[in-house]
Structure 1
């Protein structure tokens, strides 16, 4: 089965400081195999470098898009896959931008980074990107900061519910939490995401989302109790999920779990897994999560320190364009950021209107998923997009996420964290002040 590699998942503590982050980054990046040529190139160079995480799209469709660019455009581009985990990607790319290094031209960023990177002056505003009204508005907004568009969607992520053949998926959040569901509760960004979804679906629907700042009362009365209730349900598969990131939850589902909460990329991974197929038929289904879900995804931005900013902006336009987005979805299994890539148009944007494009065949290879399966998948995604909420929009998101999930882990462990301590720690983190429960 095709899942994320398990190695290189070390995290760099935010309190270690920029020097230690950069040192760790250099250890990871400056490897003998010279697979990171951007660091050897001077600022006066003719090639573009695109920095992002490991390409988990089916058949490495991100790399294929870069190759398409290279066939018809100059300067050529190289995709630099800096790390597997979102946390480590953030540390490494941030370290380069903090040092004002010219190693990267285009950044593939988690959509929570925009506020931090734009506020720090690491990004150039984007001008001239075509058909902005074709992007899903909720995803496009994640690329804005203080009235300027600094990034555009590359792919969108929403929480989806996967269910095995013969299993009826629950239609309520409480029904989900009492089922045999595999999710992601290990100590990384996935825990933040899952905990936020639990809060929003258990009494805290308008808290810790977007630019609004929660009050201490809301954190004590809505957020903390929802997390305590989630902790009380950590039995069976949900309890085992404390060991799971995305790949482990995919494996648990492919093995025997009845249900799985995961991102859209898992659809193509499972559709290519022999245990999940019976000939052309898939032995699983996918639907929107019951209730609210986190808006995830990656955005494209141009580094302030790129020596070729105009060319980098053209590359962003190519990668976020309608044709590239269609291929990313049909061939790569990633959800596009544009309506048109799902066959939608103004006035026809309901889930029932989705018409998935077919992936052009490669050397006569058919391979799953097919057009009808992708259309069903796309409809689940569009339904989920109607229920999404953004994570907190703040230049201090990484501090918040580290603090929040550390507090969640203490609640899960029954370590005596009370509502007042929790509220104080989260409030401090939203101001960029490291804290703990």
Structure 2
């Protein structure tokens, strides 16, 4: 039953990247206890400041902080049963928005709060948390267990300076979505996509190329996918210096061309993920570039037409090449200040195991980071016969799984740097509005402003 896709109990679909509107923060991370009093006041909203440890019966409590997810509590409950009394995981829901999640964790970790054990991190936060010394490195057998069979794109988001600091939980990647009645075959290149949209416009049919053009993280993600597909680089390999090479210029030219071609929505600069979804779903576009949550929404809201919804990888720059699309998702890390790190590592491995990822893929639509889950077509409950409604398989419940996995094999990551929040803010501002881009001049501005952003060592105190 496809209608379970996208239901997370949050204000956003499970596999949609949350909007971010970060401020540019300067100054070095403050990790001492001087801010402890203020942090404790904030932490009372979540748990007792410095809390954690053993319960009244001597059982170790592992405090798990992450975004709200429907069905995650069921995973926690199963892991607690499997722990056999060695520990008990307590799931603490952070705010729904990414900024709120990061802010609460950063403030508590800056005060060395021992009441946090397992942390759910957006894929862009791992370098920041690792560089600040807030999360433990995964080594030895634990590292091998955390990285085994993880797809290349998600794995890169868990590594900082060649060390593993997190275990990939779920991942994400955008696809091209289209209606077979308008376009029987997907465009293979961006030139074909624009030409197809122009033909549809001339025929008086829905024709817009719909993507996240508002000034926020969604525009940065779209642009990063264009840069990676063009073979460009924004930063050097170490993440310490802006490169902004010819591939970036090529991506800027394409973004400008798309925005000025007459085949984008008049509301382009206000469009985030859900506006893109609704425009396409309501017949105001030919193609949308969006996360897999759109399938569930379409199935729920237009069930009689979902059979005509199709998906493919992003178009490429040139015939015979493959696109590279930006990876999303969440990773799980163990806090440096946890009093029960052995238990926290073990709890993390259970929370993001293949069994857990399969359950959340089928019940909540979260794309797995473990490759074998995509090939596992046994039913959710292996002791009962498969049934699409009550006991689904990956084949029956997750139609785009093969396309998602293929895109994840060589997915791009956003620039890996502890100050990614600064880079995101700067990039979104420079790219807005896309129609005003002057490729060469905008590239020069990006190079200058990204270098300035990299010099900011600031995170929220």
Q: TM-score range by the shorter chain?
A: 0.7 to 0.9
Cα distance change of structure 1 residues 103 and 13 upon mapping to structure 2, 3 Å threshold:
farther
Change in Cα spacing, 1:166 to 1:27, as seen in structure 2 (3 Å) is farther
The answer to which structure, 1 or 2, has the higher relative contact order (CA under 8 A, 6+ apart) is 2
Query: Does structure 2 conserve the Cα–Cα contact (< 8 Å) formed by 1:182 and 1:238?
Result: yes
Contact kept, 8 Å, 1:228 with 1:411, in 2: the verdict is no
* Alignment match of 1:422 (pick from 446, 455, 458): 446
Distance 1:338 1:158, change over 3 A: same
Match of 1:196 in 2: 224
1:386, distance to aligned residue in structure 2 (A) = 3.2
- Paired with 2:401 and 2:424, the residues of 1 have a C-alpha distance of 29
Q: Is the 8 A contact 1:154 1:298 kept in 2?
A: yes
Does 1:211 find its partner at 2:237? yes
Deviation at 1:370, TM superposition (A): 6.5
Give the distance between the partners of 2:37 and 2:301, measured in 1 at CA: 42
TM-score by length of 2: 0.75
Alignment of 1:7-406 (within 5 A): 11=21, 13-15=23-25, 36=46, 38-39=47-48, 42-46=51-55, 47-55=61-69, 60-73=70-83, 74=85, 75-127=87-139, 128-129=141-142, 130=145, 132-168=147-183, 169-176=186-193, 178=197, 180-201=208-229, 204-208=230-234, 211=237, 219=244, 221-224=246-249, 226-227=251-252, 229-234=254-259, 235=262, 237-256=264-283, 257-271=285-299, 273-277=300-304, 282-290=307-315, 291-343=323-375, 356-360=377-381, 366=389, 371-374=394-397, 376-406=399-429
**For this pair of structures, how many residues does the alignment match?**
405
Cα 1:244/1:337, change in 2 over 3 Å: same
Q: Distance in 1 between matches of 2:37 and 2:97?
A: 18
> What is aligned with 1:347?
none
Whose radius of gyration is greater, 1 or 2?
A: 2
Cα offset, 1:63, TM superposition: 2.8
3-state SS of paired residue (1:13): coil
CA distance in 2, matches of 1:22, 1:138: 37
Aligned residues: CA RMSD = 3.7
1:220 offset after TM fit, Å? 6.6
What 5-or-longer segments of structure 1 have no aligned partner? 344-354
Deviation string 1:230-253 (CA, Å, 9 cap, x unpaired) is: 234325544524323223322223
Decide whether the 8 Å contact of 1:114 with 1:143 is kept in 2. yes
What are the Cα deviations for residues 395-421 of structure 1, in whole angstroms up to 9, with x where unaligned?
A: 221111111112112655569975433
Q: Does the CA contact (< 8 Å) of 1:152 and 1:299 recur in 2? A: yes
Q: After TM superposition, give the deviation of residue 151 of structure 1 in Å.
A: 0.6
Distance 1:255 1:104, change over 3 A: farther
Deviation at 1:219? 2.3
CA–CA distance in structure 2, aligned partners of residues 356 and 115 of structure 1: 35
State the SS of the aligned residue for 1:432.
coil
- Any stretches of 5+ residues in structure 2 without a counterpart? 13-17, 56-60, 198-206, 316-322
The change in CA–CA distance for 1:369 and 1:301 in structure 2 (over 3 A counts) is same
Matched residue, 2:15 = none
CA distance in structure 1 between the partners assigned to 2:157 and 2:452 by the alignment: 23
